[in-house]
């Protein structure tokens, strides 16, 4: 019975550890109410230097003209996978002269263009479309990288939205852009050693998990959980061998 109780405790501890590890790397928490409140940006910059800062999960808007280059900047820390979504409300169809291609480009703090791991960063809007949406999901941000690499690093990221192709007569028509940058914390399964100071992020709010991500990773959970289970199993084995079941023997003389 004692050995049974020991093994049951081991299973409970292991289950608790692995369950908490899975929960630790769920999707990033929903933004605070202030992220989408009255303080949300209502304009965009026109260059890298004037890019409008936005928080993760914050929805920013801007009134502009077709042909303008619109810039925003947002933070991303190590272990995060950022997704940017932009929607453009197009001019009335009666004012347009044909199809137009809208493009979303993302750059890191060194202004290096980053490739999209998924999403549709380029979309063609037909003459009758009322809006067009472009998306881009970056690769997971790394805590450090070699100088020659183009890996995404913690710090500021820039989003640039513009029409890349369309009728010249449509340039200057009014449009309204809406953009939001979200980040999912996936650092546990991709944790790496090393740290790097954030790149050009002075104007941005630091992510909740920090620029270099949380120190905790799912590898820690599996390592500690395995050690605990191994120790409890050893205790159970020792208990079985040290106190074997003894058969009932009649008293001497009977």
154-171 mean pLDDT = 95
Would you say residue 20 has pLDDT above 60?
A: no
Choose the weakest-confidence range: 110-114, 220-224, 226-230. Answer: 220-224
pLDDT at 13: 44
Question: Tell me, what's the pLDDT at 124?
Answer: 96
| Phi-psi group of 78: left, alpha or beta (phi > 0 → left; psi -120 to 50 → alpha; rest → beta) | beta
pLDDT at 233 (0 to 100): 72
pLDDT of amino acid 137? 97
Structure confidence at residue 10 (pLDDT): 46
CA atoms of 51 and 175, how far apart (whole Å): 18
pLDDT of 218 above 50: yes
Q: How many CA atoms lie within 13 A of 48 on its CB side?
A: 14
d(CA 250, CA 191): 63
> Measuring CA to CA, which residue among 85, 104, 101 is closest to residue 170?
101
pLDDT recorded at residue 216:
53
pLDDT in the model for residue 223: 61
DSSP-assigned beta bridge partners for residue 183 = 82
**Residues 188 and 79: beta-carbon distance below 8 Å:** yes
**Mean pLDDT of the 205-227 span:** 64
Please check the confidence at residue 21 and state whether its pLDDT lies above 50.
no
- The pLDDT value recorded for residue 134 is 98
Average pLDDT over residues 117-136: 96
Residue 148 in this model has a pLDDT that exceeds 70: yes
Confidence of residue 210 (pLDDT cuts 50, 70, 90): confident
Average pLDDT over residues 93-106: 96
pLDDT at 101 over 50: yes
């Amino acid at each position: 019975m004692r050995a049974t109780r020991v093994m049951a405790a081991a299973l409970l501890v292991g289950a608790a550890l692995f369950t908490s590890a899975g929960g630790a790397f769920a999707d990033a928490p929903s933004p605070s109410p202030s992220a989408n409140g009255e303080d949300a940006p209502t304009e965009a910059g026109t260059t890298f230097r004037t890019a409008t800062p936005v928080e993760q999960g914050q929805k920013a808007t801007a009134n502009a003209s077709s042909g303008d280059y619109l810039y925003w900047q947002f933070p991303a820390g190590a272990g995060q996978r950022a997704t940017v979504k932009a929607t453009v409300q197009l001019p009335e169809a009666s004012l347009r002269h044909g199809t137009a291609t809208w493009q979303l480009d993302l750059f890191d703090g060194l202004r290096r263009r980053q490739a999209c791991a998924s999403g549709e960063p380029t979309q063609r809007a037909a003459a009758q479309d009322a809006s067009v949406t472009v998306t881009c999901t970056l690769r997971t941000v790394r805590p450090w990288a070699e100088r020659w690499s183009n890996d995404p690093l913690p710090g500021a990221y820039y989003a640039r939205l513009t029409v890349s192709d369309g009728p010249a007569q449509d340039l200057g028509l009014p449009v309204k852009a809406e953009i939001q940058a979200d980040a999912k914390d996936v650092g546990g399964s991709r944790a790496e050693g090393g740290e790097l100071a954030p790149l050009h992020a002075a104007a941005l709010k630091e992510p909740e998990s920090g620029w270099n991500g949380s120190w905790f990773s799912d590898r820690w959970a599996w390592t500690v959980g395995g050690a605990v289970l191994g120790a409890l199993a050893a205790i159970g084995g020792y208990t079985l061998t040290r106190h074997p079941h003894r058969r009932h023997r009649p008293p001497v003389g009977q």
